[in-house]
Amino acid sequence: MWNATNSDAVTIFPRKSYSKQFIADFPDGFLPFQIGIVGVGYAGFDSMTPGLSTRELMFEAATRAYEDAGVDPRKDVQSFVCCTEDFWEGISITDEYMPDQLGAVLRPLCTISSDGIIGLATACMHIMSGIADVAVVESHSKISDVVNPDEIASFGYDPIYTHHHFDADPRFLAGMEMARYLKETGTKREYCAQVAVKNKKNALSNSRGVHGADIDKGIVMNSQIAASPLTELESSKGIDASIVFVLASAQKARKLGDQTVWIKGIGWSSDTPVVEDRDFARSEYVEQAAGRAYKMANVKSPASYFDLAEVDDTYSYKELQSLEAMKLASKGKAGKMVDTGSFDADGRLPVNASGGSLGVGHLLEATGLHRTLEAVMQLRGQAGRLQVPRAKKALVQSWRGIPTATGAVAVLGN
Amino acid sequence: MSQKITSYQGREITPDEVKEGKYLDIVYKFEPKYSWAAGVAISRFLTELKDGKIVARKCYKCERILVPPRMYCEQCYRPTDEWVQVKDTGTVNTFSISHVGTDARRLKTPILVAVVDIDGASPGMGILHNLGEVERSKISVGMKVQAVWKGSEERQGAITDIRYFKPI
pLDDT in tens, A271-306: 999 989 999 999 999 999 999 999 999 999 999 999
> ipTM of this model?
0.90
pLDDT, mean of residues B136-142 = 96
Across the interface, which of B28, B33, B79 has its CB nearest the CB of A147? B33
Q: What residues contact residue A329 under an 8 Å CB cut-off, 6+ apart?
A: A303, A320, A323, A337
- Indicate the domain borders of chain A: 28-147+240-262, 172-238+266-413
Considering the domain A28-147+240-262 in this protein, what is its CATH number?
3.40.47.10
Q: What residues contact residue A370 under an 8 Å CB cut-off, 6+ apart?
A: A116, A241, A243, A357, A360, A363
DSSP-derived secondary structure letter, B148: E
- Please check whether the two domains, A28-147+240-262 and A172-238+266-413, share a CATH topology: yes
CA distances from A275 to A162, A163, A365 (A): 9, 12, 20
CB crowding A36-59: b at 16 or more within 10 Å, else e = bbbbbbbbbbbeebeebbbbbbbb
**Please, are residues A138 and A61 in contact by the beta-carbon 8 Å criterion?**
yes
pLDDT, mean of residues B87-111 = 95
Q: What residues contact residue A363 under an 8 Å CB cut-off, 6+ apart?
A: A139, A140, A141, A238, A239, A241, A243, A357, A369, A370
Which residues in chain B have their CB less than 8 angstroms from residue A155's CB?
A: 30, 32
Q: Does B131 touch chain A (CB under 8 A)?
A: no
Torsion of CA A66, A242, A244, A357, to 10 degrees: 140
Note the pLDDT of residue B9.
81
Note the pLDDT of residue A363.
98
Chain B nearest-CA residue for A150: B32
Note the pLDDT of residue A161.
81
Note the pLDDT of residue A289.
96
CA distances from A285 to A121, A281, A404 (A): 16, 12, 10
Confidence of residue B147 (pLDDT cuts 50, 70, 90): very high
Note the helical H segments in chain B: 15-19, 39-50
Least confident of A139-153, A311-325, B3-17, B77-91: B3-17
CATH H-level, domain A172-238+266-413: superfamily: Thiolase/Chalcone synthase (3.40.47.10)
Alpha-carbon gap, residue A196 to A233, rounded angstroms:
7
Query: B154: how many CB neighbours lie within 10 A of its CB?
Result: 10
Alpha-carbon gap, residue A309 to A302, rounded angstroms:
11
Q: Which of B44, B96, B92, B93 is nearest to B68 (CA)?
A: B44
Confidence of residue B6 (pLDDT cuts 50, 70, 90): confident
Note the pLDDT of residue B150.
98
pLDDT, mean of residues B55-70 = 97
- Select the residue from B65, B77, B78, B117 to test the A interface by mutation, using most A Cβ atoms within 10 A: B77
Note the pLDDT of residue B118.
98
What parts of chain A have a pLDDT lower than 50?
Answer: 1-4, 6-9
Note the pLDDT of residue A1.
40
Distance from CA of B72 to the nearest CA of A (A): 7
Note the pLDDT of residue A330.
97
Note the pLDDT of residue A26.
58
Distance from CA of A157 to the nearest CA of B (A): 12
Alpha-carbon gap, residue B70 to B59, rounded angstroms:
10
B 23-62 residues with CB < 8 A to A: 24, 26, 28, 30-42, 62
**Inter-chain touch B37–A87, beta carbons under 8 Å:** no
Alpha-carbon gap, residue B128 to B117, rounded angstroms:
9
**Please, are residues A117 and A123 in contact by the beta-carbon 8 Å criterion?**
no
**Inter-chain touch B34–A155, beta carbons under 8 Å:** no
Sheet holding A406-413, edge to edge: A109-112, A79-83, A134-141, A240-249, A35-46, A261-270, A406-413, A393-399, A308-310
Alpha-carbon gap, residue A95 to A52, rounded angstroms:
19
Quick one: CA dihedral A204, A207, A209, A210, positive or negative?
positive
Alpha-carbon gap, residue A244 to A116, rounded angstroms:
10
- Indicate the domain borders of chain B: 39-167
DSSP-derived secondary structure letter, B12: P
Note the pLDDT of residue A210.
98
- Residue ranges of chain A whose CB lies within 8 Å of a chain B CB: 1-2, 49-56, 59, 66, 72-74, 87, 90, 99-101, 103, 105, 142, 144-148, 151-152, 155, 159-160, 163-164
Which residues in chain B have their CB less than 8 angstroms from residue A152's CB?
A: 32
The count of CB pairs under 8 A between chains A and B is 82
**Inter-chain touch A72–B77, beta carbons under 8 Å:** yes
